Structures are given as structure tokens and as C-alpha cells.
Amino acid sequence: MATARKPLVAGNWKLNKTVSEAVETVDALKPLVSGVSNVDVVVCPVYTALYSAAQAAAGSNVEVGAQNGYTKESGAFTGEVSPQLIKDTGCTWVILGHSERREYFTESDAFLNEKLHFALSAGLKVMFCIGETLEEREGGKMDDVLTRQVTEGLKGLTEDQFANVAIAYEPVWAIGTGVTATPDQAESAHLFVRGLVRDQFGDAVADGLRIQYGGSAKPDNAAELISQPNVDGFLVGGAALQADSFAAIVNAVSAHG
């Protein structure tokens, strides 16, 4: 079904880059993507670099996002950062539910659903990550896992709220491994996820929802992946750390039109 979904390409810098390195990368990226108006471009530094990166990106077509956000605005929650404070730095996005958060910090579907609602209520846009492990895929559990992550994770969202949500399908076996999902694997997973969203939230939401692919996305595989009808952009890890390789992905997506 032909729909005009504007691609979304985001760099998840994970636990990398000092403040000055983050600013340098944003400064290097800006001229490389300044001509791109048909793709939303986001970089996601660590918390400590958000303000400086957002200042560096101000006035450009590069947006800045955080990699996590808590479920409370303020109070006695040592070490946490609220979506309101993320927004205060000049950020417009937050990544929630990354597999590293799910695995290393035991974030549950219910907790992520709470985070999602709270981030949206604070006025942030959310990239909500889902994806199966290799064990789950090989054990025939992939559909069940994606169904659970979508059903529990997106529970209670209204149609209006979906305007500020993207899903990132990131098969865990492809993250940081150099093994990328084939275009067919990505397309069939994205189609399945869009179908789940269609069943639960209707055609308008499903047709408008951007589903990014993440997992060893690189300049040399971006064109093939983005040519799949249900792949609407990327969430890039390693290849987003350098401005030139990230820009090459953005430009490959832009060229696809």
C-alpha cells in the first residue's frame, strides 16, 4: 500500500563520546546532510553530551535524542533522568526499549510501556525498540516475542500519540555483530510488526507508522534495505559514530526518495 512515510535515520551512539567528541561529530555531520529534506535525521548521544550536542545541532536539520528516560519527572530517584529534563536540553527524541536496556537493565515490557507513555506526555518523540534474540528466532519464538513486545509495549496508545512514535526493529543477533538481516528477513519482520499494529490500532496508525531497521546497518547495505516497502529508515549503532559513514546512510536513504 503506497503511503508517504518520511524515513527516519537515527544514530544511537550508545556509551561513546565525550562532550567535545559529540559536538565535533554533530559539527562534521551538519554539512554532510544539510541538503537532505526528505529524511528525518537524529543523533542520540549519552546524557552528559545532550545539551552541547543539541546546541551544536540547533538551526540545522539534525535533531538530538536521548537513549533512555525515566518514568518520573523529578524527586528522589538517584541517577535517573526524566523526559522533561531531556526535553530541557533541547532534545526532541528518546530511544526506549533498546535490547541492551532490556537485557542488561532488565527493563520489562510493562516498565517500557510506562516509560513510553510518560515520554510522550512530556512532549518527546519516541523510537521504541523491539527485536528477537537468535535463540528466540531459531527456536521458532520470533513471532511470539514480537507480538508480546508490541502488544505490551504499545498498550494504551491513542491514534494521535502514534504521530510521535516510531518502532525500531532490531534483531538482537544483528546488533554489533556485523551480521545484518537480509532485506527479505527485515521486510518480513517489518511486515509482521505492521500487521500487529494494524490489528491492534487500525489501518491509519499502521500505514503511518515508521518502522526502522537496526542491526549492523552500514553505508553498503542501506540502499538495499531501504528499498523494502516496509523499511522506513534505520537505527544505526557502530556506523553512526563517524559523521561520514552515518551521512552516507542518510544520503542513501534520501536518494531512494
Contacting residues for 27 by C-beta, under 8 A, at least 6 apart: 56
> Which is nearer to ligand 13P, 142 or 241 (by Cβ)?
241
> Which is nearer to ligand 13P, 84 or 92 (by Cβ)?
92
> Which is nearer to ligand 13P, 156 or 178 (by Cβ)?
178
Q: Is 170 a catalytic residue?
A: yes
What is each CA distance from 19 to 24, 46, 175, 222, in whole angstroms?
9, 9, 25, 28
Q: Are 231 and 211 in contact (CB under 8 A)?
A: yes
> Which is nearer to ligand 13P, 45 or 237 (by Cβ)?
237
> Which is nearer to ligand 13P, 124 or 205 (by Cβ)?
124
Residue 216 CB, shortest distance to ligand 13P, in Å, is: 4
Q: Are 217 and 186 in contact (CB under 8 A)?
A: no
Q: Are 211 and 198 in contact (CB under 8 A)?
A: no
Smallest CA-to-CA distance from 148 within 188, 200, 100, 96 is with 200
Q: From start to end of 2-146, where are the E strands? A: 8-12, 40-44, 62-66, 93-96, 125-130
Q: Is 256 a catalytic residue?
A: no
Residue 9 CB, shortest distance to ligand 13P, in Å, is: 11
* Catalytic residue of the set 100, 107, 170, 187: 170
Residue 67 CB, shortest distance to ligand 13P, in Å, is: 8
* Catalytic residue of the set 98, 100, 107, 187: 98
Q: How many CB atoms lie within 10 A of CB 164?
A: 15
Smallest CA-to-CA distance from 256 within 2, 4, 7, 1 is with 7
Instruction: Please state, in angstroms and rounded to a whole number, the distance separating the CA atoms of residues 146 and 151.
Output: 8
Residue with the CB atom nearest ligand 13P in the bound state: 237
Positions touching ligand 13P (CB under 6 A) are 12, 98, 170, 175-176, 214-217, 235-239
Residue 160 CB, shortest distance to ligand 13P, in Å, is: 26
Rg for the chain (alpha carbons), in Å?
17
**What type of residue is 71?**
T
What is each CA distance from 186 to 53, 72, 84, 189, in whole angstroms?
31, 35, 34, 5
Residue 129 CB, shortest distance to ligand 13P, in Å, is: 7
Active site residues: 98, 170
